[in-house]
Structure formats: C-alpha cells, structure tokens
Structure 1
Amino acid sequence: MKCNIGKYIEESGFKRSFIANKLGITGRHLVKYINGESYPPVPKLFLLAKLLNTKVDDLYEYEEEIN
C-alpha cells in the first residue's frame, strides 16, 4: 500500500499538529500513519479524508507486487 496522507496534508496547508489534534492522536502517531508504520482506524480515516477535503480511497493506493 502506498500512503498519500503526507501529500494531502502538504496540499491542505494545515500543520501536522492541527491534523493530529483534530484526530485526537499524537504527532508521532500521525507520522506513523504517513510513513506506513501503522494504519488509522476506519473512523479516523474518514475524519482525516474530510479534514483534507478528499475521498478515503485517495489516501492510500494499492500496489500489486510483481513476482
């Protein structure tokens, strides 16, 4: 999965601390979402999409592994 959360946060003009506060998480937790170290629960994913004025399915892209 390719994470696009960081890209959409940059485009939004919001500070990461603002986004983290709105989601009720720490800044470190948001960084983990951005880096793909963890994934937001579905309710937070929908709130994040609303804050960033995008669709939930824009926040992640599925990348097929080629073997």
Structure 2
Amino acid sequence: MPAGTPDILACLKGRFIGIEVKKPKGGIVSPLQKLKIKQIQNAGGIAFVANSLEVVKRELSEHNLI
C-alpha cells in the first residue's frame, strides 16, 4: 500500500471505510496519515484513527453502520 494509507480498508453497507490503527498509548498519527484520512472524508468515505475496539464501535455507530 502507498505510504499513509489507513491500516484497514473496508466497504460496509456501501460506504468506504479507512481505519488507521494505533496503540492505546503512544500511537502517533503522521501528517501524511492525517492527509489521507481527510481525503477519504472529503470524498464521502468514513475514515478515522482507532486505538481501541470501543472507538471503532462508536465511529461505526455514529454513521449508522452497526
């Protein structure tokens, strides 16, 4: 994958999702990763940084995907 691409790419209920996975403590999001997340969001996809399963559940729930 090209540098900065989120770790997990998926399609759920027709929505493109990019998830950048970080450790619960100390995970740093690079400027390139932030840019890729913003590009996905600007294109109508869902992209976010997750450091726990709870974050993933919350984000997907907020978008009515679970």
Same structural fold, with TM-score higher than 0.5 when normalized by the shorter chain? no
Q: Which has the higher strand share?
A: 2
TM-score by length of 2: 0.28
Select the structure that is richer in helix.
Answer: 1
